[in-house]
Structure 1
Amino acid sequence: MSVRTGLVAATALVAAVALAAPVAAAAPAAPRDGHGATREAMDANVKDGVVGIALQAKDTHGVWKATAGKGDLRTGAPRTAHDRFRAGSITKTFVATVLLQLESEGRLSLDDKVDRWLPRLVRGNGHDGRRVTVRQLLNHTSGIFNYTADEQLQRDVFLADGFLKNRYRTHTPEQLVGIAMQHKPDFAPGTDWNYSNTNYLLAGLVIEKVTGNPYADEVRARIVEPLGLRGTKLPGTSPGLPGPHSRAYSKLAETADGKTYDVTRMNASVAGAAGEIVSSAEDLNRFYAALLRGRLLPKKQLDAMKTTVPVENLGGYGLGLTEQKLSCGVRVWGHGGGIHGSISESVTTEDGRHSLTFNFNSDWTGDSDAIVEAEFCGK
C-alpha cells in the first residue's frame, strides 16, 4: 500500500491493478497551458482504469484547473474542477497543525506522554500510553497497532458484504482504539516507524481533552474559517457529500476484478480524526500553501512539523506532513489520502508558491506519483 495515497486504508485490501472496464476519452490537452505533462499523466491514469480525476495546480503564472474521465458511471457525466471529495488522511495535517498551535500557546508539550491526557486508554497487549509521547503519535513512531489492519474491521468496513451492511454505522474513536488494543504493538515506542491510523484518533482525543471541544470544532475555528476554506467540512456521522461532487467508486474487494460499487454515501466516523475530512482541490492548495508559508504556525512549530523520520519510498514523514524529493530535485511537502472510493494527493513547494491537489474518484488503481512528477518536473 502506498504511504502517500492509501493512508486511511480504504484501499488496504485492494490490489493496484488496472480496471478492465472501458472509460470515456479525456479532454485533449490545451497546448498553451504550461501543464502539458500533467495533462498527459492524467490521461494515462484514466486509460489505466481510474474512473475520473479532478485537479488544480497553482503557481506564479496562475491557477490551472483540469479534469479527466467520468464523474458518474451511470449517467456518463464528467468530473468537474470544483468537485468536493473525501480527502482521507489529508485530515492528519489539519490535526497535527492544531496540536502544534496548542503547543505554541503553552497548553501542551509534544513530549507529554499520551497517558497524561488520555489516562489508561492506551493499555493492553503491551501497549502503554505512559511510554508514548504526543510527538510519536504525530510522526508514527509510537508503535501503536493500526486499527484499520484488524481483520474483522476490514471485513466489516472494506469488503462488500460488510460495507453494504455497515456503511451508515457510527464508530467512536474510543471503540476503534479499543480494537487496536486487542493487538500487540508493532514495536517499542521510538524505535521504528510504521503508519498507524490509531495515532491520529488519539491525537484528536488529545485535542478534545486539552481544549474541551471536539477536534473538528478546533479545526474549523483555527484553520477552516480563518483561511476561508468554504469547500472543507468535517462531516462527523453525516453520510452525504456537499455539492458539487462526483460519485465515488470502489471494488470493495481484495482484487480489482468484479463489480464496481457506488460508495459515495457513507458514515466516515470509522476514519474520524485519521481521515474523515471532505474538501476541494482549491481549498487544499490554499491550506498547504498557507501552512508552508508560516501563516498557521510559528517558525518553531513549523520546523518541528518538517523534522522528518526517513521512510522508504517516500522521503520522510514529519508531524502529519510528508516530504519528497522529486526526480528533478524539487522538494515538495504535503500528504496523501485514501478512503472508500477516493484517492487524493496535495503537495506544495517549500515556499508555498507552487501547489498541486488532485483526486481520483475510484480507489483500486492509479499512479499519483506520475502526476506529481509531471507537474513539478515535466514540461
Structure 2
Amino acid sequence: MAVRTARIGWVGLAAAAALTGVCITPPAVADGGPAHTRTQQAMDAAVRDGVPGVTGQADDGYSVWAGTAGVGNLTTGQPRSVADRYRIGSETKTFVATVLLQMEAEGKLDLDDTVDRWLPGVVQGNGNDGSRITVRQLLDHTSGLFDYVTDPAFLKEHFTGEFLKHRYDTYTPGQLVGIAMRHAPLFAPGAGWNYSNTDYVVAGMIIEKVSGHSYEDEIERRIIGPLGLYATSVPRTDSSMPVLSSRAYSKLSLQPQPTDPVHDVTELNPSEAGSAGAMISDSADLDRFFSALLAGRLLPAAQLKEMKTTVPISGAPFSGYGLGLMKFDLSCGTTVWGHAGDIQGSSSDAVTTADGRHSFAFDFNGDWAGNRWAVVEAEYCPK
C-alpha cells in the first residue's frame, strides 16, 4: 500500500525481534568488495538520516551480497538481519498483476474486459462506472478511481496517532472499495494517471471471481509455491509477523517532525491494504521473484511485453508505470524494473535489470526518513 504524502512512500503504504535461542542459517553471501561499497554507504547514510535500520540483498546471478545497517529493535539495540522478513506494501501489486496476466495467457479473461464484466455493480455511484473501466486500466492506474487510502477519515485512522486504536480493524475488499465510491472519480477512464490502491483491491476481487479462489490462494499456488519463496506469505488478517523479522516503526504523522514520538507499529491487520499491499517477504525472495518475472519464467513473452508497456510518469523517481511494474531510469543510463512498497513502519524497494540478471531488494524499518532512491542508485551506478 502507498499513499501520496511527503513521508509515506514515493508513490503515495507479535513479531519476534529477539532471536536468542533460535537457530538461524542466513544465506551465503559474497564479500561486498568495491561493487557494493556505495550500496553499504547509502544504507549507512539512511540510518544517519533517522531510519532505525536497513536490510538488503543483491543477486547478479554470479554472486550474492547482503548488507545491513542500524537496528531492528530500538529497545534492545539488536541489529537488523539479512534474513529479516518485512511487510512489502505495494510490491504486492506486482504479484497480483502477474496472476491476472497468467489468467489472460490461459484465456480466462481479457485485459480489455470491463470491471462490470466480472464484478457487476461493485464500482458505481458518484460518477463511478465499472462498465467503462477495464482490467488494464486497473493495473496501470489509468482507471480514475479515487484512492481509498487518501480518504480523509481513512488517513486519520491509519496514518496519525489514531492508528493505535485501529491497527487491528478488519476490512473486506468490498468495504475498501466502498470508501473509494464515496468520492467521484478523478478523471474519465483512460484520460489520466493516478496511483490508486483501489485499483488493486478491485483487481484482487476479479482474481477471486475468475478463479473461484481468493487472490491469496492464487498467489500462493501460482508464484510462491513454484518459485520456492519460503519467506513470502499473504497473511490475510493475521496481525503478527514471522519470527525472522525486526520491529517496524512510524511517527504516525503525515508531516513528521524531528520531535515527533516514534511508535512500534509492527503488529497490524493487513486487511487495511488487502491485494494492494498486504504481503510479507524478505530481500532474497523478492530478488528471486523479480528476477524470474523479468527473465520470462512467470509470463509468456506477450504478457510480459504488456506488463512492460508503460504510462509515462513525470515528477517521480520512476519514469513509467506498466501493469503492476515500475520503470526506473537511473543516472548512469541503466534501466531497472520493479516496485516500491510502503505500509506503516516499512518502506521497501525491489528492482531488477531488464533481463532479470541483477536484482536488488531492501527495506527500511521506519517510514519517515532516508533516501531510498540513493540506495538504488548506489547499487546500480557504483562509480
In 1: Cα distance, 2:303 partner to 2:322 partner = 11
1:203 aligns with 203
Task: State the distance in 2 between where 1:286 and 1:31 align.
Answer: 19
Correspondence for 2:336 among 332, 336, 340: 332
Counterparts of 1:25-104 in structure 2, within 5 Å, are: 32=33, 34-104=35-105
SS at match of 2:233: coil
SS at match of 2:35: coil
Q: Give me the whole-angstrom Cα distance separating, in 2, the residues matched to 1:249 and 1:241.
A: 14
Q: CA deviation at 1:39?
A: 1.0
Identity of aligned residues (%): 56
Looking at structure 1, the residues matched to 114 and 127 of structure 2 have their Cα atoms a distance apart, in angstroms, of 16
User: Could you say which residue in structure 2 is the equivalent of 1:275?
Assistant: 277
Aligned residue in 2 for 1:219:
219
With normalisation by structure 2, the TM-score equals: 0.91
| Aligned-pair CA distance for 1:325 | 1.2
Shift of 1:324: 1.2
- Residue 14 of structure 1 deviates from its aligned partner by 4.0
Q: Structure 1 segments of 4 or more deviating over 3 A?
A: 11-16
Unaligned runs of 5+ in 1: 1-6, 17-29
1:155-194 → structure 2 map (5 Å cutoff): 155-160=156-161, 162-194=162-194
Residues 33-84 of structure 1, C-alpha deviation per residue, up to 9 Å, x if partnerless?
A: 5211111111111111111000001114400010000100000110000000
| Aligned amino acid, residue 177 of structure 1 | V
2:283 corresponds to 1:289:
no
Deviations 1:159-179 (A, max 9, x none): 11x211111110111001001
For residues 336-372 of structure 1, the C-alpha deviation after alignment (integer angstroms, 9 at most, x for no partner) is: 0000000000000011110100000000112111011
Following superposition of structure 1 onto structure 2, how do residues 101-112 of structure 1 map, counting pairs within 5 Å? 101-112=102-113
Alignment of 1:116-131 (within 5 A): 116-131=117-132
Secondary structure of the corresponding residue to residue 230 of structure 1: coil
Q: What is the Cα deviation at residue 12 of structure 1?
A: 3.7
Alpha-carbon distance between aligned partners in 2 of 1:171 and 1:265, rounded to the nearest angstrom:
16
CA distance in 2, matches of 1:12, 1:244: 30
Contact kept? 2:2, 2:8, Cα under 8 Å: no
Alignment of 1:281-320 (within 5 A): 281-312=283-314, 313=316, 314-320=318-324
- CA–CA distance in 2 between the matches of 1:169 and 1:55? 31
Return the offset for 1:31: 7.0
- What amino acid does structure 2 have at the position aligned with 1:75? T
What is the aligned counterpart of 2:346 among 342, 348, 359? 342
User: In the aligned structure 1, how far is the partner of 2:232 from the partner of 2:359?
Assistant: 17
> Residue 252 and residue 81 in structure 1: after superposition, are their counterparts in 2 closer, same or farther (change >3 A)?
same
Counterparts of 1:153 and 1:68, CA distance in 2: 33
**Which residue identity lines up with residue 233 of structure 2 in the other structure?**
K
Counterpart residue type for residue 145 of structure 1:
F
1:21 alignment partner in structure 2: none
Residue deviations 1:211-265, cap 9 Å, x none?
Answer: 0000000000000000000000100100001120000000011332311000000
- How many angstroms apart in 2 are the aligned matches of 1:167 and 1:328? 42
- 2:280 is matched by which residue type in structure 1? V
> Which amino acid in 2 is paired with 1:224?
I
State the SS of the aligned residue for 1:130.
coil
Is the 2:332–2:381 Cα contact (8 Å) retained in structure 1? yes
Q: Which amino acid aligns with 1:372?
A: V
- Unpaired stretches in structure 2, ≥5 consecutive residues: 10-30
Q: TM-score, normalised by structure 1?
A: 0.92
The aligned residue for residue 25 of structure 1 is: none
Deviations 1:87-109 (A, max 9, x none): 00000000000000000000000
Using the TM superposition, give the Cα deviation of residue 13 of structure 1 relative to its aligned residue in structure 2, in angstroms.
6.7
The yes-or-no answer on 1:8 pairing with 2:2 is yes
SS at match of 1:34: helix
- The CA distance in 2 between the partners of 1:78 and 1:369, in whole Å, is 23
Query: Hey, what's the Cα distance between the residues in 2 that align with 1:32 and 1:290?
Result: 26
Aligned residue pairs, count: 358
